[in-house]
Amino acid sequence: MTEKVITLYEAIGGDAAVQALTHRFYELMDTLPEARQVRAVHPPSLEGSEEKFHEYLTGYLGGPPLYTDKRGHPRLRSRHFVAEIGPAERDEWLLCFRRALEETVANPKLREVILPPIERLAYHMQNKE
């Protein structure tokens, strides 16, 4: 008997789930007072950021490689050097992501798999003390 292996992208519900997660993430960033510092390092409109994050997260979770097909290698750290990301911005970003993940991905086991590498990525993106 052969077991079908599915990706995290499929397990959380595919594109609709990634859209919901990224939309809620930026909605929280735009409205939470405790996310004001991370919001300040983003452009006035979050639409482009949301689109890019959706594309990146889709591929990251095992879905279609939307980001790389459209924009090439992510080079996340170098692309984010234009923004000063310190501990406050990192922690606020993580606050928004954790909350959005909790609100949009119902399965706690999936959240447990998704969150640790995202947390490591957030720490990697920090470029100031």
pLDDT tens readout for residues 23-62: 999 999 999 999 999 999 999 999 999 999 999 999 999 9
Residue 1: per-residue pLDDT = 65
Q: Which of 62, 67, 65, 66 is nearest to 10 (CA)?
A: 62
Mean of the per-residue pLDDT values for the chain?
A: 94
Q: Which of 81, 104, 97 is nearest to 16 (CA)?
A: 104
Residue 73: per-residue pLDDT = 86
Share of the chain above pLDDT 90, in %: 84
Residue 83: per-residue pLDDT = 82
pLDDT digits (tens, 9 = 90+) for 67-78: 999 988 888 777
Give the other-Cβ count within 10 Å of 28's Cβ. 20
Residue 75: per-residue pLDDT = 81
Question: pLDDT-based confidence at 5, cuts 50/70/90?
Answer: confident
Backbone angles phi, psi at 13, to 5 degrees: 120, 15
Backbone angles phi, psi at 6, to 5 degrees: -115, 155
